[in-house]
């Protein structure tokens, strides 16, 4: 059964990693996909073709989620190119890790702008459309680190914790219009980024997880399908930990 048949989603940061996994899984579930990226033009072009081959409308947009104006323009473009809009997935994110002692102002500001302000920018940009149609699902990508904190990631943890407060507030503000806002907090997800780490380090992480493995982009994508679909129509303001039991 295709759980997202006929729906349209915007997914930010889908040229690789988790976002790319979500885009594939959404297309397999019949969802039309508008996705963004920062600089990976070739990867975005290939993804566009892969998604179209699955029989859905798909288009990639180079758009900086940290820019209020670009987010606004993006949504206007998507509304012209696609037939409606049902789901927004705020997935784009970056890290600039350092201990507080060595973290400079730029590293703090950049992470907050790309990870947290982007969520404000994009949610503002889709708000009018969702309000008018009295329907919409907002899904924001936080992290286990936003719930728990992590040494060396004060900027990242602050941005990811901020997303949770933002989402819960929006759930309260927009619930009466049937607009739902939920957060996914992934644990350790094995992507190209983690493939750069040594096998010993990765194995150490896997051993510490109750389910004894790292997550895959598809594990996160399946949770997004649930929160984007009508199966979750009575769920809002929640944080769904998709982490193999890490926070248990």
- The Cα 235–Cα 76 span in angstroms is 28
Task: Decide: is 18 part of the binding site for ligand NAP (CB under 6 A).
Answer: yes
**Residues 86-105: x where in contact with ligand NAP by CB under 6 A, - otherwise, as a string:** -----xxxx-----------
If 0-12 CB within 10 Å is exposed, 13-18 middle and 19+ buried, where does residue 101 land? exposed
- The Cα 245–Cα 226 span in angstroms is 19
CB of 94 to ligand NAP, least distance (A): 5
- The Cα 211–Cα 229 span in angstroms is 26
Instruction: Out of 143, 167, 181, 232, point to the residue binding ligand NAP (CB under 6 A).
Output: 143
Taking residue 62's Cβ as centre, other Cβ atoms within 10 Å add up to: 14
Task: Decide: is 141 part of the binding site for ligand NAP (CB under 6 A).
Answer: yes
- The Cα 62–Cα 74 span in angstroms is 9
CB of 133 to ligand NAP, least distance (A): 25
CA angle 145, 89, 136 (to 5 degrees): 125
Task: Decide: is 232 part of the binding site for ligand NAP (CB under 6 A).
Answer: no
Task: Decide: is 16 part of the binding site for ligand NAP (CB under 6 A).
Answer: yes
Number of residues that this document lists for the chain: 248
Q: Identify which of residues 176 and 207 has a Cβ nearer to ligand NAP in the complex.
A: 207
Task: Decide: is 19 part of the binding site for ligand NAP (CB under 6 A).
Answer: yes
**CA 172, chain centre distance (Å):** 20
- The Cα 189–Cα 176 span in angstroms is 34
Residue recorded with tokens 């508008």: 34
Q: Identify which of residues 135 and 168 has a Cβ nearer to ligand NAP in the complex.
A: 168
Task: Decide: is 64 part of the binding site for ligand NAP (CB under 6 A).
Answer: yes
Residue recorded with tokens 């286990």: 144
Instruction: Out of 34, 47, 65, 88, point to the residue binding ligand NAP (CB under 6 A).
Output: 65
Task: Decide: is 61 part of the binding site for ligand NAP (CB under 6 A).
Answer: no
Instruction: Out of 100, 193, 197, 208, point to the residue binding ligand NAP (CB under 6 A).
Output: 193
* Catalytic residue, candidates 37, 61, 156, 234: 156
The answer to whether the CB of 30 falls within 8 A of the CB of 36 is no
CB of 74 to ligand NAP, least distance (A): 9
- The Cα 240–Cα 186 span in angstroms is 8
Half-sphere exposure of 101 (CA within 13 A, CB side): 2
CB of 187 to ligand NAP, least distance (A): 7
Task: Decide: is 231 part of the binding site for ligand NAP (CB under 6 A).
Answer: no
Q: Identify which of residues 46 and 178 has a Cβ nearer to ligand NAP in the complex.
A: 46
Active site residue 156: yes
Point out which residues bind ligand NAP (CB under 6 A).
Answer: 12-19, 36-40, 64-66, 91-94, 114, 141, 143, 186, 188-189, 191-193
Q: Which residues are catalytic?
A: 156
């Amino acid at each position: 059964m295709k759980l997202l048949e006929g729906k349209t989603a915007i997914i930010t940061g889908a040229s690789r990693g988790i976002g790319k996994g979500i885009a594939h899984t959404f297309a397999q579930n019949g969802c039309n996909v508008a996705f963004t990226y920062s600089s990976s033009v070739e990867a975005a072009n290939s993804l566009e073709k892969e998604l179209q081959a699955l029989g859905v409308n798909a288009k990639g947009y180079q758009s900086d989620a940290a820019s209020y104006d670009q987010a606004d323009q993006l949504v206007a473009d998507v509304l012209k190119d696609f037939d409606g809009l049902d789901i927004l997935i705020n997935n784009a994110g970056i890290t600039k890790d350092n201990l507080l002692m060595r973290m400079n102002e730029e590293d703090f500001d950049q992470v907050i702008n790309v990870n947290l302000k982007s969520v404000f920018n994009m949610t503002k940009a889709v708000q009018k459309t969702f309000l008018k149609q009295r329907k919409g699902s907002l899904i924001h990508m936080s992290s286990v680190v936003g719930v728990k904190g992590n040494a060396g990631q004060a900027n990242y943890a602050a941005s990811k914790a901020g997303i949770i407060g933002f989402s819960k507030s929006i759930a309260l503000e927009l619930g009466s219009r049937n607009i739902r806002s939920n957060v996914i907090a992934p644990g350790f997800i094995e992507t190209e980024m983690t493939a750069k780490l040594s096998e010993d380090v990765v194995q150490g992480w896997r051993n510490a997880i109750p389910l004894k493995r790292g997550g895959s982009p598809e594990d996160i994508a399946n949770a997004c399908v649930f929160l984007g679909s009508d199966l979750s129509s009575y769920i809002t303001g929640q944080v769904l930990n998709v982490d193999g039991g890490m926070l248990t």
